[in-house]
Chains A and B, each alone.
Chain A
């Protein structure tokens, strides 16, 4: 099988600009690992074991803040539940692919990959596969490198800067970018508000109560919309 260089180049060219918004996440993940006092290798291993910025940041910052491990794991998994939608949307395209690619492809299916590759779904299977792998390899390599860079920068940053506040800042950005209808804004406000009310629950488990309340209210509002 000869690799089509034109497709590989196009995939890399498409992937690079989409990686830029992920850079602050990668660096903050590295910093958060250092601040959380987690073993650097354990913390960084999330970059290839999970390969998903929001979930990695959730897990690390919650573990570092003394949350119950089960609550941190649950929250990180719930953050990544949106990938179910990507998986379902790509399932028909992947049926035309060889078995090894059906196993490998989902590992690379991050938000940016979904956005890039869902619009390539109508291409012939080999072109799709080449494009998908080249774009995925680009994101993967840059992600490993930039999270490691953040880890290296971590010890240099003074604690008084309170850089752990960067995590809520990045999360509010993700919320704002994701809001395309008002029930989502309400879901975010209810999620935060209820968590505030039950903040006294042990080991930050209140965040699961808040998140559930936000999902329920958002879904209910959406159902009531004409």
Chain B
């Protein structure tokens, strides 16, 4: 139930962010400083999320060799090929192999 309510809240917020200028503020422009900061929201949040998702229940971070190698290889593959499927397949394979080796 909590998960569903949380989803509704994110859904409403997402719709607002997509619609606010179209529905209500068509004559308004986003202020320059806000526009500047908005560009850095996605990389900053995604960087934070990667680490947050690897935090263990005791507060330590599961960022060992398997994770770091796989993330490095995955990032490189996306950079070279722009292919998320390939990134996913090779990244997971690297993760499994390095984990099995150490």
Given contacts A42-B4, A94-B26, contact A165 B38 (CB under 8 A): no
Q: B interface, how many residues as a size bin?
A: 35 or more
Cβ of A51 to closest chain B Cβ, rounded Å? 7
Given contacts A21-B84, A168-B54, contact A103 B23 (CB under 8 A): yes
* CB < 8 Å neighbour of B13 from A80, A82, A210: A80
Asked if B35 is at the interface of the complex by the 8 Å CB criterion, the answer is yes
B44 contacts across to A, CB distance below 8 A: 187-188, 190-191, 210-215, 218
Cβ of B44 to closest chain A Cβ, rounded Å? 3
Interface on chain B toward A: helix, strand, loop, or mixed SS? helix
B74 contacts across to A, CB distance below 8 A: 169, 172-173
Docked CA distance A50–B16 (Å)? 11
User: B14 near A91 (CB under 8 angstroms)?
Assistant: no
A173-226 contacts to B, CB under 8 A, are 173-179, 183-185, 187-196, 199-200, 204, 206-208, 210-215, 218-219, 222-223
Q: What is A's interface to B at a CB cutoff of 8 Å?
A: 20-21, 23-25, 28, 38-39, 41-43, 45-46, 49-52, 54-55, 58-59, 61-63, 65-67, 69, 72-73, 75-88, 90-92, 94-95, 102-103, 105-107, 109, 161-179, 183-185, 187-196, 199-200, 204, 206-208, 210-215, 218-219, 222-223
